[in-house]
Amino acid sequence: MRIRRYAAIIVTYLMFGVSVLSVQGQVTAIKAGRLVDPDTGTAARNQVILIENGKITAVGSGLAIPAGAKVVDLSRMTVLPGLFDCHSHLCTTVPESNRDLFTADMKQSSAYRAILGTANAKAMLESGFTTVRDVGNAGLYIDTSLRNAIDQQIIPGPTIINAGRIIAPFGGQYHLQPERRDLGQPEYLYADTRDEMRKAIRENVHFGARVIKIVVDDQPYIYSVDDIKFIVQEAANAGVKVAAHCMTEQGAKNAAEGGVASIEHGFRMSDEALTLAKRNNVVLVGTDFTLAAAGYLGLPPDIAKQFHDVFIDRLRRAYKIGVTMAFGTDTFFAVAGEDRGTLAVSFIDSFVEAGIPAKDTLKIMTTNAAKLLGVEKQRGAIKAGQFADIIATPENPLENIQTLKKVSFVMKTGKIIRSTDK
Ligand SMILES: [Zn+2]
């Protein structure tokens, strides 16, 4: 038995080793007409980026291109780091025919949701999102399997930081019937006592979660500051951060005081709650719904408008107060003529409408997000030592952020995903 296990490990190692060897030594040189550094909000002309074994080895003007290198000519384009979406649900797509999340979760098999995840991951990557934080609603760890399949290069997709099952007070985000209490499973891990919270975190981490997602306040009973502090500490002990879904003012205040890494949505946050988040270095992942996206939720037009206006107002105030923000979309619905990637990038419209300067929006979509996800040393910048997650646009996004909707070149970990106009 033991011998067979070792044999399996050796075979896996050999297979992985071969796939690494096949790309080893090949140098790729990207000629960038303009290279944007989102961290500083600057662009440099005529830069060369050298890439080997999936990583950037050198960046500069007038760099010698080694003989035999594969040259990618983007000299008429603007080149920048890949984008981040910090709030996705790749393994959930609610159909247009019925926008109810509960029903979709009930009706779709895990196999079908894995296929949805595969298609959504590919679409996100093709639109320029090279890293995604997936915050639950992925059945029984379908997200972990999706991440593994991408990491093993079985399918194309972004780097995924996944949450596993969402941890929440009893009921999660559903409204159950007493005789149908199991219908909430397996989407949510109910945790009301400290023991249940600790167990839920450990179970999640064991089954592959790289971040803990909690729902603070979708029931009349909400997680307290002490509950959240306990969860943050337990998660930290396991090496992961906490993302907190907050729909109410009190929920957001509890999360900010409890020291979570990020508040998701937070659309009811007052200036006071935003100031508290800023003081505690809590990042806001605002999922700022555009007017169109609010309509896609199935809301009547006047309600969709109100919903959207609340988001825009909170986005403006968060920017003014100076809360650190990271881009997140929460697009979990199917829309005819759009895919998950085009829908996600359309959320830029809210930032434009709120008057956020392009350089700040770009930072929110790259540098800030990389820090929140804890990958800033590996991804999110075009610098020597970083993985080559690189995209290109026809115009300079520092001048026209809308050009991010026209990403025409995508490279992830040194591999070209797309290089044609969309
Ligand atoms: Zn969400």
Peptide bond into 186 cis (omega under 30): yes
Distance between Cα 255 and ligand 1 center (Å): 16
Distance between Cα 152 and ligand 1 center (Å): 26
- Report the candidate in 278, 368, 267 with the shortest Cα–Cα distance to residue 321: 278
| Beta pairing class for 83-88 and 129-134 | parallel
Predicted pLDDT of residue 99? 83
Distance between Cα 383 and ligand 1 center (Å): 32
Instruction: Say if residues 65 and 58 touch (Cβ distance below 8 Å).
Output: no
As a whole number of angstroms, the distance between CA 201 and CA 213 comes to 9
Distance between Cα 287 and ligand 1 center (Å): 8
Q: What is the mean pLDDT of each run of 10 residues along the chain (422 residues)?
A: 51 43 76 98 98 98 94 97 98 89 86 97 98 96 98 98 97 91 89 98 98 97 98 98 98 98 97 98 98 92 95 98 98 94 98 98 98 98 98 98 98 94 46
Distance between Cα 245 and ligand 1 center (Å): 8
Distance between Cα 87 and ligand 1 center (Å): 6
Residue 100's CB is within 10 A of a number of other CB atoms, namely 12
Distance between Cα 156 and ligand 1 center (Å): 23
pTM of the entire predicted model: 0.93
Residue 221 class from Cβ within 10 Å (0-12 exposed, 13-18 middle, 19+ buried)?
exposed
Distance between Cα 332 and ligand 1 center (Å): 8
The distance from CA 187 to its chain's CA centroid, rounded to whole angstroms, is: 19
Predicted pLDDT of residue 4? 55
For residue 155, give both structure tokens: 């399918």
C-alpha pair distances (Å), 163 with each of 87, 237, 255, 361: 10, 16, 17, 25
As a whole number of angstroms, the distance between CA 265 and CA 398 comes to 26
Instruction: Say if residues 252 and 263 touch (Cβ distance below 8 Å).
Output: yes
Distance between Cα 413 and ligand 1 center (Å): 27
Predicted pLDDT of residue 395? 98
Distance between Cα 330 and ligand 1 center (Å): 5
- Segments in 163-248 forming alpha helices (H): 194-206, 225-237
